[in-house]
Structure 1
Amino acid sequence: MLKLLVLLAAFTLIHASRHYSPIIAALGFSLIGFTVTDWMIPRVSSAFVKIGCFGKDLSKPGKPVIPETIGAISATVYLFIMFFYIPFLFYKYLVVLTSGGGQRDVSVMETANDHLFPHGKLSEYLSAVLCLESTVLLGIADDLFDLRWRHKFFLPAVAAIPLLVVYYVDFGVTYVLIPEFIRKLCGTSKTTVDLGALYYIYMAAMAIFCPNSINILAGVNGLEVGQSIILSAIFLINDFIYLLIGTEASKESHLFSAILIIPFLGVSLGLWKWNRWPAKVFVGDTYCYFAGMVFSVVGILGHFSKTTLLFFLPQIFNFAYSCPQLFKLVPCPRHRMPRFNEPDGLMYPSRANLVEDPPKGIMIPILKVLYKIKLIDLDLDEKTGAIKNCSNMTLINLVLVWFGPMREDKLCRTILTLQFVVGLLAVVARHMIGSLVFGHDNLHFL
C-alpha cells in the first residue's frame, strides 16, 4: 500500500512538472526509481546467486553468502528513468501552447526563442546517458570477469569520449582563472590562462578518477552507496545555491546537474536499504563505476569540474594515502578491508606483513614518520626495532587507528559523517575563500 502511495505521489509530481520546473519531474522519477529498485532487488537477488554473482561477507559470523553485482539493478533503473524523462525535460519545446479549444493558431509562448528546440541541451543529455551506459557495461564486465587493474583503469576515459566531444562542440572553454595574488606577484593583468588540450586531458583524468575513487574506498557494508548518497546531497546543496541566488548563466548548468542527480539519489536510496549493515546484497564494481561517472558527467557538462574534485577530497586523500601500497612500495594484500574479530564483533585495522615482504628501503623512514604523526599503526620488534607489520593504508583503516575498534555500522557512519562535514566545508570554501582568491564569484551575494 505504501509503495502505491509513493508511486501515486510520483506520477502527480511528473504530471505537474509540465507547467512548472523539470526539477519537479526529477523528484517524481526519483520516487519511482526508489520504489522500483526497492521492489526488484529481493526478487532478482536469487537469480544473481544462481549465475555465480555472489560473495562472502567476511565481516559477519559464519561468513554468509550474499548476492553481488546488485548495483546493476539500480543502474539499469536509472537508465530507464533517463529515457522516460526526455519528454518531460523538453516538454515546452515538444508541445506548442495555443489559445485553446483545439485551435493551433496563436502561440502563447512568451518569446520567439521558445520555439527553437535546444538541440545542444539534448545532445548533452544523450551523451551523458551514452557515457553512463558504457560505464555500466564496464562495471558488469569487471564483476563477471574480474578484470585486472591495468586493463580496466583507463576504460572510463573511453566511456567519457561522447562527453568530451559534446563539450568541445557546444562549450569549448579550456581556460582557467588565475588567482588574484598570483597576478599581483607576477605583475600581470591577465585573468585567465588557456590550457587547450591539457584541459581535455584533465577532464578525461577526472572521468577515470571519480569511478575508481569510489571503488577504492569500499569494504564496509553500505559505504559505497553511502558515500554516493552523501556526495549527491553535497552536489544538490551546491546546485540549489546557484539556482536560488546564482547568475543566470550558472543556473542553467546547475539545473542540468540537479535533474541528473535527483533520480540517481532515488535509486541509490533504494539500493542503500538492502546494502546497509547488515547487508543483504553487495553492490559490486558496477555501482561504483556508475556512481562515480554520474558525478563526473555533471561536473563536465555542468561546467564545474574543478569544484567536483573539491567535493571528492576524502576520496582524493584515500587515493593519495593508498599510493605506497597501490604502487607496491609497501606490500599490498588483495583485500585491505578491516579485520573482523568474531568474539567481540568489532572491526580492527587490517595489516600488511612486512617481514615476509619488506617495503622498499625508502619507505622505512617514511613509515616511521607516519607512525609518529598518527597516520599509520606499526608493530615494531622490541629487540631490534624493525617493523613487523603496518596497518593497511586506507581511510577506513585510518579511522580505526584514530578512534579504535568499532562495530561495522558505526564505522560506516563515522566515515560518512566525515564525508558530509568535509563536503559542507568544501561548499563554503568554494564560494567564500574562492571569491577572495580569484577576486569574484558567480553568486549574486558575493
Structure 2
Amino acid sequence: MARNVGGAQKRRKEEGADYKPSADPKDGKDTKDIKPKSDDAPVMTRKTKQVLLLAALCLAPYFYQLLTVELQEGVKRSIFINLLMSIGGYFLTVRLIPVASKYLLRKNMFGYDINKKGSEAGTLKVPESLGLVTGIVFLAVAIVFQPIFFTPDHAWLPEYNAGLMCICFMLFLGFVDDVLDLPWRVKLVLPSIAALPLLMVYAGHTTILIPKPMQGLVGTSLLELGWIYKLYMGLLVVFCTNSVNILAGVNGLEVGQTLVIACAVLSFNVMRMGKQYLYVETPEDILRQEAHCFSIFLMQPLVAACLGLLVYNWYPSSVFVGDTFTYFAGMALAVVGILGHFSETLLVFFLPQVINFLYSTPQLFKIVYCPRHRLPSFDPKTKLLTGSNDMNLVNLFLRTFGRCTEQTLCIRLLLFQALCCVICFVLHKLLEGWYK
C-alpha cells in the first residue's frame, strides 16, 4: 500500500504537477543547516531571519492595536495566554517538520521543483505534504486552549468545536488529495463535505445588513436570507480552500499569503473590539465581542504554525506544503470569517485570490487549453523565471514587471497581498457610517 501511494506521488510530481519549491544548498544564505542523521533524512535549511522579518512586518499593526486599544481585562488576558501557547506551537512546528520530512521521504512522498528544473536543485527529492504538521500543531494549540476561555455551558463552545472539526476534516481530506491526486471536480466537492459540521451547528443570524444607500429601495435595513445564507457559507468555504490552492507554485507563496491574510484578520478583530466600535453594554455587543475573540483564538495559532512552516518553505524551500496545507489554511480562514460575521471583509482580504480565480476561469473550466501545470519557465543559467501565457497571477506579474528570481516574485506577490489588505482597511474607514 505504501509503495503504491509513493508511486502515485512520484508520478504526479514527475509529470509536472504544481509542486512547490525545494531547497538549493548553494542558494541558501543566512540559513542554519540541519544535518541529516541518516540517509533517509533530507537536508533542511532554516530561513529564520527572513521569516522573523516578515513576521515583524505583518504583525506590527496587530501588536500595536493590541497594546493600545482598550479591551476588557479578562479578554486581554485570554488573548495573551493564547499568544503564549501559539509561540510554543511555533517552536513545536519547527522541531517536528524535519522529523516528519524523514518519514515522508521513506514513503516516497516527495516531489521535484519545476521552478528549478535544469539546475542541481531541481534534482533534489523534496518531502511533500508538510502542511500536515502545521495543521496538527494548530489543532493541538486550539484544543488545549479551549478550557481556558470556554466554560462547559458557554454559548460559543458548540460552534468553536464545529469549526475545529471542519478544519480537522479538511486537513484529513487535503492529505488524502496529496496521496491519491484527486481530480479537480472532486476537489470542489471536498470543502463542501468538510463544511457540513459548521453548517449543521450554525446558530447565528441568517440576515444581512442592507447598505444605507439601498435601504430606501429595499424598504428594510435587514434582509432575511434563511437557507440561502447557509448556501453562501458553503460556497465561501469552497472558494477560500481552493483559491489558496490555485495561487501557488512559488517558494513560500502559499504559506506567505495565508500569513498576510491571517495577520490582517487579527488587526481587524482587535480594531472592531475597541470602544469606538463596541461598548459591551447590550447582549448584541457581547456576541460581537465574543465573535472577534473566537477569531483571534484561532488566528494566532494559525499565524504561529505558518511561521514555523515558512522557516523551511521560504526560498530556497526545503519542503513542499502540499494540498494538505492549502485546504487546511483556507478552511481556517473561512471558519473565522463565517463565525466572526465578517465574511465580506474577508473576501476583500482575498482580493488577489479573487482576481487570480477570475483571470484563471477560462483555463480552469477548459474554455482555453489548460496544461498539467501553469508555472513560469526557469532559465538555469540566469536563475530567472519567465512568465508563460498561462492565465494566472504568477505569470501575469512576470509578464507585467519582467523576469525575476523566484524569491523576488514571491515578495512582489506578497506585497500585493498586503496592499489589498491595506485597501480593505482604508475602504472600511471611508465607508464607515455611510455605507453600513
Within 5 Å, which residues of 2 pair with 1:161-310?
161-167=196-202, 170-171=203-204, 173-184=205-216, 186=217, 189-245=219-275, 246-247=277-278, 248=280, 249=285, 250-310=288-348
State the secondary structure of the residue aligned to 2:345.
helix
Q: Amino acid of the residue matched to residue 46 of structure 1?
A: K
Corresponding residue for residue 403 of structure 2: 405
Identity %: 39
The separation in 1 between residues aligned to 2:215 and 2:147, in whole angstroms, is: 47
How far the C-alpha of 1:224 sits from its partner, in A, is 0.2
Q: Amino acid of the residue matched to residue 272 of structure 2?
A: Y
The separation in 2 between residues aligned to 1:435 and 1:428, in whole angstroms, is: 14
The separation in 1 between residues aligned to 2:350 and 2:300, in whole angstroms, is: 18
The separation in 1 between residues aligned to 2:416 and 2:334, in whole angstroms, is: 21
After superposition, the C-alpha distances for 1:19-70 in whole angstroms (9 at most, x for unaligned) are: 9621112111111111000011112212101112100011222312211101
The separation in 2 between residues aligned to 1:70 and 1:425, in whole angstroms, is: 32
Q: Structure 2 length normalisation: TM-score?
A: 0.78
After superposition, the C-alpha distances for 1:273-305 in whole angstroms (9 at most, x for unaligned) are: 000000000000000000000010001111122
Corresponding residue for residue 421 of structure 1: 419
Within 5 Å, which residues of 2 pair with 1:342-357?
342-350=380-388
- Number of paired residues? 353
Q: Is the 8 A contact 1:127 1:163 kept in 2?
A: yes
State the secondary structure of the residue aligned to 1:154.
helix
The separation in 1 between residues aligned to 2:419 and 2:259, in whole angstroms, is: 14
How far the C-alpha of 1:156 sits from its partner, in A, is 0.8
Runs of at least 5 residues in structure 2 that lack an aligned partner in the other structure: 1-47, 49-72
Q: Is the 8 A contact 1:163 1:300 kept in 2?
A: no
Change (3 A) 1:435 1:313: farther
1:73 to 127, 133, 144: 133
Higher relative contact order (CA 8 A, sep 6+): 2
Q: Is the 8 A contact 1:75 1:136 kept in 2?
A: yes
Q: Is the 8 A contact 1:216 1:319 kept in 2?
A: yes
Q: Is the 8 A contact 1:72 1:136 kept in 2?
A: yes
State the secondary structure of the residue aligned to 2:311.
helix
How far the C-alpha of 1:430 sits from its partner, in A, is 2.6
Residue 377 of structure 2 is aligned to residue 339 of structure 1? yes
Within 5 Å, which residues of 2 pair with 1:364-379?
none
Q: Is the 8 A contact 1:18 1:88 kept in 2?
A: no
Q: Amino acid of the residue matched to residue 180 of structure 1?
A: K
Change (3 A) 1:129 1:153: same
Runs of at least 5 residues in structure 1 that lack an aligned partner in the other structure: 4-16, 94-116, 351-390, 439-446
How far the C-alpha of 1:392 sits from its partner, in A, is 0.7
State the secondary structure of the residue aligned to 2:374.
coil
Runs of 4 or more consecutive aligned structure 1 residues displaced over 4 Å after TM superposition: 17-20
The separation in 1 between residues aligned to 2:289 and 2:188, in whole angstroms, is: 34
The separation in 2 between residues aligned to 1:156 and 1:434, in whole angstroms, is: 33
Change (3 A) 1:19 1:159: closer
Q: Is the 8 A contact 1:70 1:283 kept in 2?
A: yes
Corresponding residue for residue 158 of structure 1: 193
Q: Amino acid of the residue matched to residue 194 of structure 1?
A: E
Q: Amino acid of the residue matched to residue 124 of structure 1?
A: E
Q: Amino acid of the residue matched to residue 142 of structure 2?
A: M
After superposition, the C-alpha distances for 1:199-257 in whole angstroms (9 at most, x for unaligned) are: 11100000111010000000000000000000011101101101223223232211110
Q: Is the 8 A contact 2:247 2:394 kept in 1?
A: yes
The separation in 2 between residues aligned to 1:181 and 1:430, in whole angstroms, is: 16
The separation in 2 between residues aligned to 1:398 and 1:220, in whole angstroms, is: 14
Change (3 A) 1:19 1:189: closer
Residue 114 of structure 2 is aligned to residue 58 of structure 1? yes
The separation in 1 between residues aligned to 2:215 and 2:270, in whole angstroms, is: 32
Corresponding residue for residue 29 of structure 1: 85
User: Bigger CA drift: 323-332 or 192-201?
Assistant: 192-201
Q: Amino acid of the residue matched to residue 333 of structure 1?
A: P
Corresponding residue for residue 361 of structure 1: none
The separation in 1 between residues aligned to 2:188 and 2:368, in whole angstroms, is: 20
How far the C-alpha of 1:434 sits from its partner, in A, is 4.8
How far the C-alpha of 1:422 sits from its partner, in A, is 0.6
The separation in 2 between residues aligned to 1:205 and 1:27, in whole angstroms, is: 31
Q: Amino acid of the residue matched to residue 43 of structure 1?
A: V
After superposition, the C-alpha distances for 1:402-428 in whole angstroms (9 at most, x for unaligned) are: 100000001000000000011111122
Q: Amino acid of the residue matched to residue 430 of structure 1?
A: H
Q: Amino acid of the residue matched to residue 334 of structure 2?
A: S
